[in-house]
Amino acid sequence: MNFLVFLQTNAAPASTGGNWSFLIMMGLIFVVMYFFMIRPQQKKQKELAKFRNSLAKGDKVITMGGIYGVIVEVKEQYVLVEVDNNVKLRVDKGSIVKDSSDIQAAGK
Measured in degrees and rounded to the nearest 5, phi and psi for residue 23 equal -65, -40
Identify whether residues 66 and 106 lie together within a single domain. Answer: yes
Residue 13: inside a domain: no
Q: Give the model confidence (pLDDT) of 25-82 as tens digits.
A: 999 999 999 999 999 999 999 998 898 899 999 999 999 999 999 999 999 999 999 9
**Distance of alpha carbon 79 from alpha carbon 76, whole angstroms:** 8
DSSP category for residue 9: -
For residue 60, the cross-strand partners are 70
Domain coverage including residue 89: 56-108
Per-position b or e across 22-42, b if 16+ CB within 10 A of its CB: eeeeeeeeeeeeeeeeeeeee
- Both 71 and 98 in one domain: the answer is yes
In a domain, 42, yes or no: yes
pLDDT (tens digit per residue) in 82-96: 999 999 999 999 999
Mark whether 60 and 103 lie in a shared domain. yes
Query: Full-prediction pTM beyond 0.85?
Result: no
